[in-house]
Amino acid sequence: MAISTSLPAPIVPLGSHRDRQGNRAANAGPLRVAVIGSTGSVGVQALDVLDRLRDRFTVTALIAQTSVEQLQSQIQAHRPRLVGIGSVDGLDDDLTGGAEVLVSEDAMMAVATDRETDILVVASSGHAAIGATLAALRAGKIVALANKEVIVCAGPLVVDAVRTGRGEVRPVDSEHSALWQALGHSDGRDIRKLILTASGGPFRTWSLADMRTVTAAQALNHPTWTMGGKITIDSATLINKGLELIEARWLFGVDPEQLDVVVHPESVIHSLVEFADASQIAQLSLPDMRLPIQYALTWPDHVDSPCRTLSLADLGRLSFEHPDPDRFPALRLAGQVMRTGDTYPTVLSAVDEVAVHAFLAGRLPFIGITDAISAVLDQHQPTGQLSLESIADADAWARRVAEGWIASQA
């Protein structure tokens, strides 16, 4: 398999582009924001941020899949012009506030290309938002991106969309936001290394033998963050950190050899940048997703927030260690996938989702999650031409093969 060595330009706004949003906000009033996945954890926190910054932003569109009652409450609070829902069943016309109601993926595409959308917050998970994100970037939109699959599966397509439409990708993940903030005025050319931190999850100190007996309840008990089930399990296997490495490669236009992971149990240093002169700059804060969400919206400004202030004296100490590749092979698998590219990242992402659901359902042991990923990756034959169609085909193939592999282990 051929390894790609060409480096794209960073797709996050760096260096000389720092005044773009400030000029737009000053000259044309509040920025108009649409939120895809408004009823999920990140979407709810994004709306909390937007609610506190009504002088800077107005919500023009909300899209959710199934949480109708929660969506209607958000409609009443923010009065968007457009509303998207997976199905109109249960949606009370009297509670839509006169908004235009769109259904399913048509809503995503309509909102992504709508002339009255300045910033698109992609807070959903899964592959459904890839097409809408690409469309928004080609239309020159700002995309505040919390969806891992968009960059992991379609990184080269996102780079091309940014180049074509001159849109912006603003990372919402705490680790990538930390790198972005630590880069400051850099244009990215003086990066020696990007170092992502990982909490280590609940099994950081467990032996491999003990990890064979992990239960779902134990895996869902994250020591630092309160998140949804899928991302919490991904944090326990460290596959989430592997996916973040792939994202960082495209977001910041660096070679895979310039990326590293360090385990940091306190989770207050969210990432570090090492520059060409050997200096390192880190971003620190108490864990709170509202901070990276807010920065993606207000960049280049840091504005007041309700987030608690970190006291290093009260914390007392910060500790670090290397991740153990024998107990956490997901990082190695993600590194291989990052280097081979094509549809391998899609396969990794799809199999992980199937395997995590099987683990939570009691059909697969915890260590079987990465075993499943490895087994299906070994069988994959990429097409050699990355496109939305090849991504969809690889996703469907990977899920089918993963289900078969899991069933064979019973």
Domain that holds residue 385: 341-410
Q: Does residue 292 fall inside a structural domain?
A: no
Same domain, residue pair 97 and 238: no
Number of CB atoms found within 10 A of residue 339's CB? 18
Query: CA of 405: how far to CAs of 56, 238, 355, 360, 376, in Å?
Result: 51, 22, 10, 16, 8
> For the chain, what is the domain count?
3
The answer to whether residue 205 is domain-embedded is: yes
Instruction: Give dist(CA 365, CA 211) in Å, integer.
Output: 9
What DSSP string runs through 260-296? Answer: EEEE-TT--EEEEEEETTS-EEEEE--S-THHHHHHH
Position 410 in a domain:
yes
In the sheet where 191-198 sits, what is the strand order?
259-263, 191-198, 269-275, 280-284
Helices 368-379 and 330-340 pack at an angle, to 10 degrees, of: 20
**366, 214 in Cβ contact below 8 A?**
yes
Whether residue 223 is found in the same domain as residue 158:
no
Helices 368-379 and 344-360 pack at an angle, to 10 degrees, of: 150
pLDDT at 18: 46
Q: Which residues of the chain have pLDDT under 50?
A: 1-5, 17-26
Antiparallel, parallel or unpaired: β 269-275 and 191-198: antiparallel
d(CA 42, CA 284): 20
The answer to whether the predicted template modeling score (pTM) of the entire model surpasses 0.85 is yes
- Residue 107 included in any domain: yes
Of 141, 172, 203, which one is at a domain's C-terminal end? 172
User: Are residues 163 and 191 part of one domain?
Assistant: no
299 part of a folded domain: no
Same domain, 346 and 335: no
Rounded CA-CA distance 400/353 in Å is: 12
Cβ neighbors of 260 (< 8 A, separation 6 or more) are: 193, 194, 195, 196
pLDDT at 4: 40
Same domain, 197 and 218: yes
Same domain, 25 and 149: yes
Residues 6+ apart with CB under 8 A from 214: 203, 206, 236, 365, 366, 367
CATH of the domain at 409: 1.10.1740.10
Tell whether 345 and 319 lie within a shared domain.
no
Give the CATH number of the domain where residue 19 resides. Answer: 3.40.50.720
Do both 326 and 368 map to the same domain?
no
- pLDDT tens, position by position, 211-254: 999 988 988 887 776 666 788 899 899 999 999 999 999 999 99
Contact between 60 and 38 under an 8 Å Cβ cutoff? The reply is no
Give the pLDDT score at 162: 95
Note whether 167 and 137 are same-domain residues: yes
The pLDDT, as a whole number, for residue 95 is 65
Residue 304 located in a structural domain: no
Last residue of a domain, one of 106, 141, 172: 172
Residue 293 lies in a domain: no
CA distance 258 to 241: 15
The confidence score (pLDDT) of residue 59 equals: 96
Say yes or no: 327 and 376 in one domain.
no
Residue 203 lies in a domain: yes
148 and 223: one domain? no
Residues 103 and 45 in one domain: yes
